[in-house]
Copies of this chain bind each other. A is one copy, B any other.
């Protein structure tokens, strides 16, 4: 029989760990002196402790280990737990590999540019939405901007404040070759019962469902639409370096109601749907 200190030296673990496992009921000492509270361990308990340590190294929680060592799980269930572990570790490996790529990208950026860019790209899912908008084809940003101004005014008049979401421009063409702009301009809205809204020149805003995206790469820009190419280029580089590929319609979402006289102060989130490259 060993005192806790002797046993901990044999097993190369801390005595605090042994006390903790005693408290959890994971590994009880063979004997506890009722008078002093001293814990006494037997050498033959070392295999029990080693089993616990091995299961811990496999990544099981102490709660799972407690179930396993209490023999309440058979080989079949244990195999199931191991398979679940394998899946989780594989996921973890993927996450870490992605991190490593990202860190290496930033190191390369500092080496190339001397510093990190100010604009960070974040990837996140995007839910389904309702969109009250009008299709617009244009060959220049100024032309589109006139429609945008009309959309803003019309929406403010026609839609209840509580149901009116952010102004957004959807872009169905190739964002990197904007010779002919194929846009939809409108607002996100909260409720289906928002009616259509007539605009000048026979145009008409209608509500439609805008499907969500599993992964959307987004980047905030502050400034006029013409300067969007900066943030766009940034997302393009990010997508290329991170093992994603672009796909689907991009969006520019105005995070604040824009001041049409000062579009250079607009705060816009550029959004590009992305998917993992195979």
Mark A residues whose CB is within 8 Å of B. 10, 12, 43-44, 46-47, 50-51, 53-54, 57-59, 75, 78-79, 82-83, 85-86, 89-90, 92-93, 96-97, 99-100, 102-104, 106-107, 110-111, 114-116, 118-122, 124, 219-220, 222, 255-256, 267, 269
Contact = CB atoms under 8 A, between A and B. Distances in A.
A79 B10 contact: no
B110 A86 contact: no
A235 B171 CA distance: 63
Given A47-B119, A120-B50, A255-B10, A57 B220 contact: no
Contact of A267 (B46, B93, B222): B46
A78 B50 CA distance: 42
Contacts of A58: 99, 102-103, 106
Contacts of A78: 110, 116
A87 to B, nearest CB: 10
- Pick the 7 closest A-B CB pairs, nearest first: A43-B267, A43-B255, A54-B120, A50-B120, A75-B115, A43-B256, A89-B100
By CB atoms of chain B within 10 A, which of A44, A121, A219 has the most? A44
A85 B114 contact: no
Nearest to A53: B122
A22 B219 CA distance: 22
A46 B269 contact: yes
A247 to B, nearest CB: 21
Contacts of A10: 255
A255 B75 contact: no
A75 B120 contact: no
Contact of A107 (B53, B86, B122): B86
Given A43-B256, A267-B43, A267-B46, A103 B85 contact: yes
A110 B82 contact: yes
A161 to B, nearest CB: 13
Contact of A118 (B47, B102, B115, B267): B47
A273 to B, nearest CB: 16
Nearest to A50: B120
A40 to B, nearest CB: 13
Nearest to A1: B256
Contacts of A256: 43
B255 A46 contact: yes
A124 B12 contact: yes
Contacts of A120: 47, 50-51, 53-54
B59 A99 contact: yes
B107 A75 contact: no
